[in-house]
Amino acid sequence: MSDETLQFTLGDWQWNAALTGFINIIGEENVTIVNDTVKFEEDVLEGFEEKYFEYLIRTYKKTLSWSRIVTFKDKIFAYEENDFDNFDLLSLKGLNTYIKDVKYFIESASYKAAYSLMDSEVDILSIKKELEKIKEPKTQVEFDKGKSDIVNTVKQVIGILRQVIDYCDCPSGRRYIRAKNVIYSVIKNAWNGVCFLNPQTKEKDVYTDYKTEFVDAAVNYIKSDKGKYRFQCFTCDGPMKNMNNSMGFLNGTGFDVNKKSSHVWNFENDVALCPVCKLIYSCLPAGMTYVGAQGLYVNANIDLHDALKINNKIKTEILQSGESHSAYYALVRALHENETKATKYQFVDVQVIRYENAKYRFNILSRRMLKLIVEHEKRLNSLIKSSFIENKLTFRVFDEVIDRIFNSQNLFTLIHKMLHYKLSNPLKCYFNGTHVRHLLTINQDIYQSLGGMDMDKEYYYIVKNAKNAGESLRVKYFVKNANNKLPGICYRLLNALKTSNSGNGRCT
């Protein structure tokens, strides 16, 4: 390779997310960043396909089904260490769930595709046939009675499981099963339909397929004589030979020009990428942070260092905790960390991009609302575990609150809904009065920030006074009425409140 220097500048959010992904993959130490521009030598593209998968596997390791299979060996080791002394009915149930999961994973299509690439003699699918769940006694007492027989069966099953684990954990298993895992659990959220995500792809080895489709194409392009190229890249304005690379492979963006050219002016596609930009766009999954099928990216578009810092902070929050907290929670934590440091972000408003239900959603988090999130840190944190169930779906109160703050909406309808459920269906409400009071306090602030109220600091006392008034009402009401009619009167109060408040705040 020649030692050509390449240079790219921040642009729209998707390009920015892809560019930060690209830098994450090759390592910040291998690039030069000045403000919104990154420079790097073309030799960072050597073995890029390896770096690409390595980064995604390392980042999402804990969330991969491969890890679910392999990490169980620690448990097996613990059981064996004290000869199954602590193994009880609950352990057996856990083992059976694990067996069910293992069977499901190892016969899924993506695993089967990985086996054909592995250099192992083991016939994993025939091993799978021997794997059966173990009969569970109904009670611990029954379990204890038959424990020695049960443990013998468990030991046999563990023998089979060990073969499965060793197979998945062998070098080629780590390479191909984990690559398949990240393709379907991470990459597919960002792009689809080409390369290893094209069902008709001829190349079975996903590393080779990526290399040919993206890396080789980019390297050949860099080397080529571009003197006679008459087209221009949509992203970097670089010269291009043809318009063959569309943005159609990116989810929720562009379109498949081969299917529908009628979208474009005069039936000609004028949105095409040069092979280097296409390679960088393929790094979008390494720039966004995913929790399951939900993605998040904070578009700090003035300084690339900021963009890397805040998004990697979010990634660490989400992926190192190992808990499936909401992406919002991680975002708020990252924002807090940033705000409390001496050097604050210079940007006035933060654009937050979320990927949900296969669509991108955009919010602007204003400086005002950002300040509010920081000031109410403790109150917001107390909401993390509270939730309620509506139409069989669980709603996290924290997410609901942040969502409204992002949209510059007050919390009136949310609070009303929560009180309503608390009265009508308390068993499906996982929150208490303190949580509601926190919401009311935060709401006062939101309301004021939105220009709804012009008050001094005493407004905090309104919430407190309201709570005290409510408590004395309850005491008096209980004294007068032996029957518990509290929910009834609360309903009426709530309805009265809603009617008189209908002019305030936007309904959601």
Measured CA to CA, the distance from residue 379 to residue 332 in angstroms comes to 13
> Do residues 297 and 204 make contact, with C-beta atoms less than 8 angstroms apart?
no
Would you call 445 exposed, middle or buried from its count of C-beta atoms within 10 A (0-12, 13-18, 19+)? buried
Of 38 and 372, nearer to Zn ion (C-beta) is 38
Measured CA to CA, the distance from residue 11 to residue 446 in angstroms comes to 32
Of 190 and 277, nearer to Zn ion (C-beta) is 277
Shortest separation between residue 224's beta carbon and Zn ion, angstroms: 13
Of 8 and 13, nearer to Zn ion (C-beta) is 8
Shortest separation between residue 4's beta carbon and Zn ion, angstroms: 14
Of 250 and 274, nearer to Zn ion (C-beta) is 274
Site size toward Zn ion (CB under 5 A) is 6
Measured between alpha carbons, how far is residue 474 from residues 150, 470, 487, 490 in Å? 56, 6, 11, 10
Of 238 and 505, nearer to Zn ion (C-beta) is 238
Shortest separation between residue 274's beta carbon and Zn ion, angstroms: 3
Binding track over 179-218 against Zn ion, x by CB under 5 A: ----------------------------------------
Site for Zn ion in 220-259 (CB under 5 A): 233, 235-236, 238
Tokens found for residue 473? 């009402």
Binding track over 415-444 against Zn ion, x by CB under 5 A: ------------------------------
Tokens found for residue 496? 């009265």
Site for Zn ion in 258-287 (CB under 5 A): 274, 277
- Binding flag, residue 383, Zn ion (CB under 5 A): no
To 10 degrees, the CA torsion angle through 104, 109, 113, 116? 60
Phi, then psi, of 299 in degrees rounded to 5:
-90, 80
- According to DSSP, residue 12 is labeled S
- Binding flag, residue 6, Zn ion (CB under 5 A): no
**Backbone CA torsion sign across 3, 9, 12, 18:** positive
Binding track over 453-482 against Zn ion, x by CB under 5 A: ------------------------------
Shortest separation between residue 241's beta carbon and Zn ion, angstroms: 12
Measured CA to CA, the distance from residue 318 to residue 324 in angstroms comes to 7
> Do residues 301 and 307 make contact, with C-beta atoms less than 8 angstroms apart?
yes
Of 224 and 407, nearer to Zn ion (C-beta) is 224
Shortest separation between residue 460's beta carbon and Zn ion, angstroms: 53
Q: If DSSP codes are grouped into helix, strand and coil, which group holds residue 468?
A: helix
Type and span of the H or E element at 23: helix 13-26
Of 36 and 445, nearer to Zn ion (C-beta) is 36
Sites of contact with Zn ion (CB under 5 A): 233, 235-236, 238, 274, 277
